Amino acid sequence: MTASTTAQDATGVSVPPSQKVLHVREHCVEIVSDSGEGAQKCGQSFGAVCAKMGNGVWTVEIIPAEIQPPARTPAGASGVRIRFGTGPVTNGGNDAQLVVAFNEQVLLARLRANSLAEDAVILIENCWKDHDDETIRAAWKNAFETIGKRGFRIIEVPMEELCLTVVDDPRRGKNMFAFGMLAAVYDRDVERCKAQIAFTFRKKSQEIYDRNSKLFDLGHGWAKENLDFRIDIPTHAVEREMLVMNGNTALGMGAIASGMDLCSMYPITPATSVSHYLSDVFENAGGIVHQAEDEIAAAGVAIGASYAGKVAFTVTSGPGLALKTEFLGLATMTEVPLVVIDVQRGGPSTGLPTKVEQSDLLAVLWGQPGDAPKVIMAPSTIEECFHVVITARRIAETFRCVVFILSDANLATGVTPFPRPQTDPRWVAGPPDQSPVPEGLRPYDWDPRTGLSRRFVPGQPGGMYTLTGLVHDENSKVRYAPGVNENACEMRSRKIAVLQSTLQPPTPHGGDEGDVLVVGWGSTRGAIEEAVDIARAEGLAASSVNLTFLSPLEPGLRDLFSRFGAVMTVEVNYSDEKDAPYITDENRRRGQLCTLLRAQTLVDVDCWTRVPGAPLRPADILSAIRAKIAEGGRS
Amino acid sequence: MTATCTLTDCGTTPDTDYSMDDYQGPEARWCPGCGDHSVLSSVQRLLATHQMAPERTVFVSGIGCSSRFPHYLRTFGFHGIHGRALPVSVGVKLARPDLDVFAVMGDGDCCSIGAGHWIHATRYNVNMTVLLLDNNIYGLTKKQTSPTTPQGFKTNTQPRGSYLPALNPLTVTLGITNASFVAQTADWAPQHLYETLEAAYAHQGFSFVRIMQRCPVWTSILFQDAVRDPARVAVLVHERGIRDAGTEELHKHHIDHDPSDLDAARHLAEEGGMRLGLFYRDASCPRYEETRRQAAYTPAERIAVLEKEFDRHAV
Ligand SMILES: Cc1ncc(C[n+]2csc(CCOP(=O)(O)OP(=O)(O)O)c2C)c(N)n1
Ligand code: SF4
Ligand SMILES: [Mg+2]
C-alpha cells in the first residue's frame, strides 16, 4: 500500500479511497475448509495475532465427524470460528458475520448449523463454479439455490488460481492466502502476522516459511485491491502478559503446577489432548503419562500410585468414566486421594464424541453404587482450567477423597488469552511423607467432628495396614458390625460438609436481587453473563451465578435464590420441555444441576437446557431469560 | 535384592532383625486344609529370609478367598477390587520403584475378570512377584466355574459339568510378548513352593508363579491324585532352573528343561499335566517402570518448567 493510494478516514485508519470502513466493537469470523486444507491453522494464526494486538478473542474449533471425510462434503467441514472484540470475549457468540469458505459444501454445513448471520459476508473460493467436472458444477449450482436465497453478501475469490502461482497443490496453500485476506480485512499488523507464520512453521524449512509468507501476501494484496470494505475493531494495549491456549492444555499445565507426577489415561475424545500435551512436556518436569490398556486399568494405576505416594490423576470422558466406576468407589471407600478429569462429551453411550455437553454431573455425583461422597468442581473459563487442577490436588490430599474436575468439549477446544499466572512453588505437592508413624495412630483415625484423618504411605515405618474396599474400622480392619459401617459412612460424608464450611457464598453477576436468577456451571458462564448483560441493558432484572463447586454445593444458595422472583438453570444437558406431550410438572425430567438444586434447596428451580452439540449462544439464553421473566414468578 | 529409594526425603529403614513372626498379621481365616495357608507360610519365610522391611513391602490383591492374603501379613496391603490387582500393582511400582511389590490373585481374578490386565501387565514386565492361587474354582462366591475349571467338572453355574476345556495360564502367559518369568508350583510341595518364590523374587521383572492350590471345600478331588501319587507329578530340572532335592527325590519323573528356551517352554506348557518348575526366564526383557523412571525434582525446578511452558504460550 503506498501513500498515493491511501487516505485517512475520520478515525485515522488508512484506507484506499474506494473502501468503506465498518467500525464495530467485535466480529465473529469463520474459516471452513475440507479437513486437511488447513483452515484450522489459518484460524488459529489469525486468532493469535488478534490476541497479540490486544483484542479479546475466543476461538472454537469446527471439527468434522470423521478423520478423513470425503472432500467437498458438508460432513467434512473443518475450521475455526474466531470471535474477537475490543473488550474481553468469553464465549463463541452467536452468528458468524464473515465467513471464508474453501468450497460451497462446507459453507452449506455452516448454514445448516445455523451459524451464519443473515447478512453475513461470505468470501468463497470460486474454482468450483466453472469446474471441469460437471458434477462439481452442478453441486455448486445446487448449493447456491439455497445459499443465494439468503441475505448474504457473497464475494467470489479466485483462491486456487492465485495460489497456483506459488504452490503446486493449492490444498496446501489456501489457508495462508485466507489468513492474508483476513489480515487485510481487519487491518492486522503484517509484521505480527509474519511472525505468527514463522512460529507456525518453526519446525519446517525456510523455504516453507517463504512460500507461506508469499501466499499470505497474495491474499493480503488481493483483498486490498478487490474488497470495497474493511472492518475496524479497536484494539487496546496489552497491559499484562497474556497466555493463549485451549482448556485441555490449561488442564495439563495445571497438572504440572500441582506437583502431580502421574497421568494415567486411555485415549478418548475430547479428553485425549490433555495427555497429548502432557506426553510432550511432563517428563521435563519429572512426570509421566501412562497410557493404560483400558480405562479401568487407567484408574487402577492412578489409585495404586496415589496410595503409594503422591496424588495421581486420570483423565477421561463419558464412556471411560463409566468404566472407571468401580475403582472410583474403591478410592472413595478407602480414602485414597485421586483427581479425575472428565472432559464431557455428548452422551449417553458413545454419543457425540467431539461435541459439548454437560451431562455427566449426576453420573459423577451418584454414579457409584453405595454412598460415595466426593468433591466435584467445574472450571468455567480456560484460565480456571489451569487453577482448578492445583486446587483439586490439594483438596484430594487434605480430605483424602476423590475430586472430579468436570470440563467439557467447549473449554477443551476453545482458545482464549488470559493473564499469565504468577507462579508459586507452594502449588507443587511435596514428596510423600516417609517419616515414622507416631505410636498409636491408626490408618483411619477419623477426627469425629471432621472425618479427617492422616494418610499412611508405604515406606513409613510403623504405618503398615491393609487397605480394603470392604467396610472397615479405624484400623482398616474388615468389620461388618452395624455401627462400624454407619460411622465410616458418616466420616466420609462429613468431610464434604467440612469442605463446604470453608467456601464462600458465590457472588452473582448483575445484581443481588431481581426477577430472575440464571444458575449455570462450567463453560456456559461466558455466554450466560453476556446474555444477562444484554438483558439488564434492556432493563430486565436478570442476574446469574456460576457454581464452581457442585459437590459440595457452594453455601448460601437458598438465601440467594430467595431474593429472586424466579431461579432457572441454563445447562447443556437434556430436560423435558414443559409443554411437550405427556410432560407434567411431576414427571418432567429436568436439567442435572436443576435437579440437584431442587433437592438441596427445596426451591422450585426451573431450567432451560439444550443439547445441540454446540455451545449455547448468548442470544438463545437471552430469549430464555426474556421468556422466564414474561412468564412471571416461579415455574 | 537391595531396593534403592529415589525419593528425596525417604526415611531410612532401621537395621532390624525380622523373624517370621514379625510379618505375621491376624490369624488367617481360610478353611482348614486350604492351600492358601501353605502359600502364606512360604511367603513369610521369604520375607524373613530377605529381611524385607515390612513398611517397604506391599501386597496387592483383588477379591476372592485368595485375595484375603494381605490381611494376614504385617506389611502394607492393598485388598482392592475383583480382577484389578495388577493395574494397582503397576501404579504402586510406577510411583515407587523402591518398594517390593507382590500381587496375589485367584484364578477368577486373574484369568477371567482381570484377563486383560494379565496380558498387559505381563508385557509391561514391571518388577514384582505375582502369585496366581489357582484352585480351579471361584471359592469365595461358592463354586462357580472359573476359566481354569477342568472340562466336565460340575459347579453351581454349570451343574452338568463345565462346558469348555480349561484355559491354561502357563500357555497364555508364555504367549505374551515380553513375558520374562513363568513358573509353576503347588501348595502341597512347600519346599518347591518356597524355592520357586525365591527364584521369582530374585528375578528382576514380572515373575508369574502359578500355584496349584487345593480347595478342600469345592474342588477337593481335583488335586487329590497328584497329592497322593507323586508319580503323577513331573519336575522340570535344569542347572539354571528351580532346584529342590526333596521334590526331585519324591517325584521320579524329571524333565530336563532349559528355562531360557521359550519354544520348549511353550511346548511343555501346552502338554499340560502336573509339572513343577521354572518354564521360562529371561532377565533381559525391558521393564516398564525402569524405562519410564523419572528423576526427582524440587518444587522450584518444576515451577521453572512451568514458566517455560508459559513462555511458549505467551502472546
Ligand atoms: C466386579 C465383581 N464381580 C463379581 C464379584 C464377586 N466375586 C467375588 S470373588 C469372585 C470369584 C473368586 O474366585 P477366584 O478369583 O478364583 O478366587 P478364590 O475365591 O477362588 O480364591 C467373584 C465372582 C466381585 N466381588 N466383583
Ligand atoms: S473355600 Fe476353598 S479356597 Fe476358599 S478358603 Fe475355603 S478352602 Fe480355601
Ligand atoms: Mg479360585
Residues A252 and A386 sit within 8 Å (Cβ to Cβ)? no
ipTM value greater than 0.90? yes
Per-residue confidence band for B9, with pLDDT thresholds at 50, 70 and 90 = very low
Q: What is the CATH number of domain A8-232?
A: 3.40.920.10
Which ligand 2 atom sits closest to the C-alpha of B213?
Answer: 3
The residues in B 265-294 lying below 8 A from A, measured between CB atoms, are 292, 294
Which ligand 1 atom sits closest to the C-alpha of B82?
Answer: 26
Q: Which residue out of B40, B63, B162 has the highest number of ligand 1 atoms within 8 Å of its CB and is therefore the one to mutate?
A: B63
The residues in B 78-97 lying below 8 A from A, measured between CB atoms, are 78-81, 84, 86-96
Phi and psi torsions of A83, nearest 5° = -110, 125
Per-residue confidence band for B15, with pLDDT thresholds at 50, 70 and 90 = low
**So what's the pLDDT on residue A17?**
52
Write the residue in A302, A425, A432 that is nearest to B7 by C-beta. Answer: A432
Note whether B6 contacts A: Cβ–Cβ < 8 A: no
Ranking A19-23, A257-261, B117-121, B302-306 by mean pLDDT, the lowest is A19-23
Note whether B18 contacts A: Cβ–Cβ < 8 A: no
A459 vs B98: CB contact, 8 Å cut-off? yes
Which residues lie closer than 8 Å to A27 by C-beta, 6 or more apart? A83, A84, A85, A97, A98, A186, A231, A233
**So what's the pLDDT on residue A16?**
59
User: Which H, E and C letters describe A405-457, residue by residue?
Assistant: EEEEHHHHHCEEEEECCCCCHHHCCCCCCCCCCCCCCCCCCCCCCCCCCCCCC
Kindly list the protein residues whose Cβ atom lies closer than 6 A to any atom of ligand 1. B 63-66, 82, 106-109, 133, 135, 137-141, 146
**So what's the pLDDT on residue A68?**
81
First vs last Cα of chain B: how many Å apart?
Answer: 52
Q: How far apart are CA B223 and CA B143, in angstroms?
A: 16
Report chain A (635 residues): mean pLDDT per 10 consecutive residues: 40 62 96 93 94 93 84 94 95 97 96 95 96 96 93 96 93 94 97 94 94 97 96 88 95 98 97 96 96 98 97 98 98 98 95 94 96 98 98 98 97 94 96 95 98 98 97 96 95 98 98 97 98 98 98 98 98 97 98 98 98 95 97 62
Per DSSP, the three-state class of B94 is: helix
Q: How far apart are CA B229 and CA B250, in angstroms?
A: 10
CATH pick for A243-427 out of 3.40.50.620, 1.10.3720.10, 3.40.50.970, 3.30.70.560: 3.40.50.970
The residues in A 49-78 lying below 8 A from B, measured between CB atoms, are 51-52
A63: closest CA among A48, A46, A76, A45? A76
Note whether A110 contacts B: Cβ–Cβ < 8 A: no
CA distances from A186 to A91, A213, A259, A427, A574 (A): 20, 18, 42, 41, 39
Chain A closest-CA separation from residue B196 CA (Å) = 25
A464 vs B54: CB contact, 8 Å cut-off? yes
Q: What integer is the mean pLDDT of B224-239?
A: 95
* d(CA A10, ligand 1 centre) in Å: 80
Inter-chain CB pairs, A–B, below 8 Å:
220
The helix or strand, by DSSP H or E, that contains position A329, with its residue range, turns out to be helix A318-334
**So what's the pLDDT on residue A9?**
46
Residue A635 DSSP class: -
The larger pLDDT score, comparing residue B2 to residue B73, is at B73
Asked whether the predicted pLDDT for residue B7 surpasses 50, the reply is: no
CATH pick for A514-631 out of 3.40.50.1970, 3.40.50.720, 1.20.1440.230, 3.40.50.920: 3.40.50.920
* d(CA B138, ligand 1 centre) in Å: 6
Q: Which residue out of B27, B36, B187 has the highest number of ligand 2 atoms within 8 Å of its CB and is therefore the one to mutate?
A: B36
Same topology, domains A243-427 and A514-631? Answer is yes
A33-66: burial string, b at 16+ Cβ within 10 Å, e else: bbbebbbbbbbbbbbbbbbbbbbbbbbbbbbbee
Beta strands, E only, B92-229: 100-106, 128-134, 181-186, 206-212
Q: Supply the residue whose CA is at minimum distance from atom 2 of ligand 2.
A: B215
Q: What integer is the mean pLDDT of B95-112?
A: 98
**So what's the pLDDT on residue A76?**
92
Which superfamily is assigned to B20-312 in CATH? Thiamin diphosphate (ThDP)-binding fold, Pyr/PP domains (3.40.50.970)
Percent of chain B surpassing pLDDT 90:
93
Q: Supply the residue whose CA is at minimum distance from atom 13 of ligand 1.
A: B138
Output the nine-digit C-alpha cell for B129.
512377584
Which sequence spans correspond to the domains of chain B?
20-312
Which sequence spans correspond to the domains of chain A?
8-232, 243-427, 514-631
Chain A residues whose CB is inside 8 A of the B81 CB are 326-327, 330, 469
Q: What integer is the mean pLDDT of B99-121?
A: 98
Kindly list the protein residues whose Cβ atom lies closer than 6 A to any atom of ligand 2. B 30-31, 34, 36, 65, 135, 139, 215-218
A interface test, pick of B12, B47, B88 with most A CB neighbours within 10 Å: B88
